[in-house]
Copies of this chain bind each other. A is one copy, B any other.
Amino acid sequence: MIKQGMKPIHPGQILKEMYLEPLSLNQTDAAANLGIARKTLSMLLNGHQGVSAEMALRLSKAFNTSPELWLNMQRNYDLWNAGQRVKLSQIKVFRKPRNASSRAILSHA
């Protein structure tokens, strides 16, 4: 469930504030060890790009976390943003037909 009121924090901010900074790790060294370009890390840290599955694996190895930690943060972030722009109002809820052989019925159709 997403708290629709609060905009979720970008995973890059967590990476910066809770992983790089406590370790006094600079971006140049961190990027080198992660096997990515310094620019890629900078973009991620500043919320200009998301955490891909590959990136989640790299982060999980370097920081001894689960890859799901990073992807779930990204998922919540993406979900909130998608919810801001997608209009679901015309989508009807599919309902189970009473008769097993009949076709499905839309909630208001």
Residues of chain A at the chain B interface (Cβ within 8 Å):
1-2, 19, 22-26, 29-30, 33-35, 52-54, 56-58, 61-64, 66-68, 71-72, 75, 78-79, 81-83, 86, 88, 90-97, 101-104, 106
Contacts and interface: CB of A to CB of B under 8 A. Distances in A.
Nearest to A106: B33
Contacts of A53: 75, 78-79, 81-82
The count of identical subunits is 2
Contact of A91 (B62, B91, B96, B102): B62
Contacts of A29: 104
A88 B61 contact: yes
6 contacts: A24-B104, A53-B79, A62-B94, A63-B93, A67-B79, A71-B75
Given A24-B103, A71-B79, 19 more contacts: A1-B68, A19-B94, A22-B96, A23-B94, A24-B104, A26-B103, A33-B91, A53-B75, A53-B81, A54-B82, A57-B82, A57-B88, A58-B86, A58-B91, A61-B93, A64-B93, A67-B79, A68-B75, A71-B78
